[in-house]
Structure 1
Amino acid sequence: MRLLLLAVLRPHTGNAVTAQRVRDHLEAAGHACVLRDASDFDSQPDVADFIQAAGVEAALALHLHRAGRLLPGHGVPFGIIFGGTDLNEDVNDGEKHQAMGRVLQEARFAVAFAESMKEVACLQWPHAKNKIYVQSQGIATAPNAAFDWNAFLQRAEIKQRADEVCVFLLVCGLRRVKDPLFLVDAFSEWHREEPRVYMVIVGPEVDPVFTREVKAGVRRAAGVRLLPEMAQGDLHAALKHCSALVNSSVSEGMSAAVLEAMDLGVPVLARNIPGNAAVVTHEVTGLLFADPQEFVQLAKRLVSDPALEKGLVARGREYVRTFHSWQMERATYQHLVRTLVGCAED
């Protein structure tokens, strides 16, 4: 089966990593999977031309609005994977809400990363509830064994010795929904009290206007650094040297960075929003904070309590390996795509 997989493929973003992983799952089942950036297509006719030229027999879209809106009306069966912002943000836009409902009417199936995401989708589009499946993201980390932590600290302009610093790593694309400035002022105050603590923000410059705001905010903040995106293996290796992975997003579908940190044995400090609370149980698999002051309190507790860190790491790793198996994810997508194959043969 020749499949089209549509997603927004900004480098080093969660969508791109997920799309590449799903493509691997489908190709492992013998399908020819053509991965294309939804941003490359201006309209449905552009997609229609591509489908015909490439001999596409079925399709899959990651993100109900950004990619899914391009698939209806082409005569090929397709499925949808919810992204996160489609359910958390786009549903509040009337025009997008209607467009996404039309996509779900024609889609053969839809995949949500968590039960909470499925509940939101069923509430918004009750007609689709019987075609929505829940499959958590599968995680398989692979740190770069040759990674140089001292070189990383030098790039971040951290001059203390490696064994003298505590680094909190915030991994995100620079866009408003990720809210990377949420903790900056409070963290800066903590750094002035305790100069060994640093927060390093790592991620691609997704929104140019907002990126300028972030850079200006970081320049004013003591103890906070900003670095560009990193290759996944290097990022995983850097995480293993950090005191914690931080997530400060306003909304999330399911943060791959949070799950990867758990898999690598790194504590997680995440903002208490539905997408994070779906995978982080407070004081069990990680720590959830509501505001910057609570973040600092919890971060101080984490670095001063080895028993707390040890327990969070052990339970977080066990949770990911139990509920976020990439083998289970592979089996689910291969099964769902077989249903598309049957549709295409009818």
Structure 2
Amino acid sequence: MASHLMNSTILMITPFHKKSRGNKLTSERLQTGLQKRGWTIDLLSLESDDWQCILSGALKEKRYSLIHGLNITYFSRVLSVFPDIAQLPLVLTTTGTDLNYDIQSSFKPEIAETLNAVKYIVVFDDYFRTIFQQFYPKSASKLVTIPQGVSLEKRKGPDRNELGLNENDFVFLLPSGLRPVKNLEFAIDALEKLHPEFPNLRLLILGAVIDQKYSEFIQKRIRSLPWTVYPGEFPHDQMYGMMSLADVVLNTSYGEGQPQAALEAMSLGKPCLLTAVPGNLNIIVNGREGYYIQSQADMVAAARILITNRQLCRQMGENARRLVEKKYSLQKELCGYEAIYQRLLPGN
């Protein structure tokens, strides 16, 4: 990266930054990676009580050359409070719930205004282009597809024993924040059917409490299931070690942007079972890196195959690792965003 780009300071705005969830991890990964390439990037979380004061002061000082927002819904709220930011080049990254639910629920003028104001709209997968073509066709020409990159620090976390797991347990990993859209009960109910057949089956749930009511429901549900382990939230820098303990990774969401945690586990050679929903679809080839599932019966059947055929499980895991290395590399992701920034900040 040429040194003159250090003169351009970029503001990245994320809706969430307190708990380990997609927007936090994406914004931190991009900020860290792009800063290593010479970009100056500040990060502002809308969870900060004084975010409006911070942004107001920065705009008065003309501190930023470009603003990069994550999540259409939340970025539209920023734009409604600070319409003058539209005078700067704006980049938007869509992150999941905003695409699968918010922009499809009904036409919202503030969403249309935001999409009109931004110069580029990043989606994680080409599938999401169809949503824009249907609901906001005038914005379709602004779309850029940049798959998420995977970045895992190779640090140890708790071992199996510390998590209440035995060495011979077959562990299904469900890395997910506890909120309704993640549909954790799908995995619990399906594996409960399989557990009598395979007593060493375990389900390890890793994620933050995001929706309090739903979290209480899930924790009450698993209290009577000793084969299900939920140790609570752990910092992201321990995920490498904890994901390494698993045999298979799950994503049972109703809808996704792109399941970052599942990709992280796949990068460690774990095959996956993914619900066949937007955001999960197009990640794998069914039967090569794992399986797509549409029902609990599908999940029971696929899980049984992986438990009983360890050689196939290992081969699918290796296929998953290669896929992530090829398609979801951090370097490719950073190059994609860097290209956008360079187009919008020529000569800076």
Give TM-score, length-normalised by structure 1.
Answer: 0.90
2:123 aligned with 1:112, yes or no? yes
Gaps of 5+ in 2: 1-7
Range moving further from structure 2, 284-293 or 108-117: 284-293
**1:59 counterpart residue number:** 67
Once residues 152 and 76 of structure 1 are traced to their aligned partners in structure 2, the CA distance between those partners, rounded to angstroms, is: 50
What pairs up with 1:75-86 in 2 under 5 angstroms? Answer: 75-86=87-98
What pairs up with 1:17-56 in 2 under 5 angstroms? Answer: 17-40=25-48, 47-53=55-61, 55-56=63-64
Contact 1:188/1:222 (<8 A) preserved:
no
What pairs up with 1:108-147 in 2 under 5 angstroms? Answer: 108-144=119-155, 146-147=156-157
**2:203 counterpart residue number:** 199
| Counterpart amino acid of residue 126 in structure 1 | P
**1:181 counterpart residue number:** 185
| Counterpart amino acid of residue 76 in structure 1 | L
- Assess, with a 3 A threshold, how the Cα gap between structure 1 residues 246 and 152 changes in structure 2: closer, same or farther: farther
TM-superposed CA distance for 1:56, in Å, is: 2.2
Once residues 200 and 208 of structure 2 are traced to their aligned partners in structure 1, the CA distance between those partners, rounded to angstroms, is: 26
**1:149 counterpart residue number:** 159
| Counterpart amino acid of residue 13 in structure 2 | L
Contact 2:73/2:111 (<8 A) preserved:
yes
| Counterpart amino acid of residue 11 in structure 2 | L
- Assess, with a 3 A threshold, how the Cα gap between structure 1 residues 54 and 199 changes in structure 2: closer, same or farther: farther
Contact 2:163/2:229 (<8 A) preserved:
no
- Assess, with a 3 A threshold, how the Cα gap between structure 1 residues 47 and 94 changes in structure 2: closer, same or farther: farther
**2:238 counterpart residue number:** 234
Contact 1:172/1:204 (<8 A) preserved:
yes
**1:225 counterpart residue number:** 229
2:15 aligned with 1:11, yes or no? no
- Assess, with a 3 A threshold, how the Cα gap between structure 1 residues 283 and 337 changes in structure 2: closer, same or farther: same
TM-superposed CA distance for 1:191, in Å, is: 2.0
| Counterpart amino acid of residue 9 in structure 2 | R
Name the % identity.
23
| Counterpart amino acid of residue 134 in structure 1 | T
**1:289 counterpart residue number:** 293
Gaps of 5+ in 1: none
- Assess, with a 3 A threshold, how the Cα gap between structure 1 residues 199 and 210 changes in structure 2: closer, same or farther: same
TM-superposed CA distance for 1:105, in Å, is: 0.4
Q: SS at the partner of 2:186? A: coil
Range moving further from structure 2, 77-86 or 1-10: 1-10
Q: Deviations over 1:165-186 (max 9, x none)?
A: 1111101111111111122233
Contact 1:141/1:264 (<8 A) preserved:
no
Once residues 139 and 294 of structure 1 are traced to their aligned partners in structure 2, the CA distance between those partners, rounded to angstroms, is: 28
Q: Deviations over 1:214-270 (max 9, x none)?
A: 111111335222221222232221222211111111110101112111211011111
Q: SS at the partner of 2:138? A: helix
Q: Deviations over 1:38-96 (max 9, x none)?
A: 2336897874444325722210011111234313432222100011111101023336x
Once residues 94 and 276 of structure 1 are traced to their aligned partners in structure 2, the CA distance between those partners, rounded to angstroms, is: 23
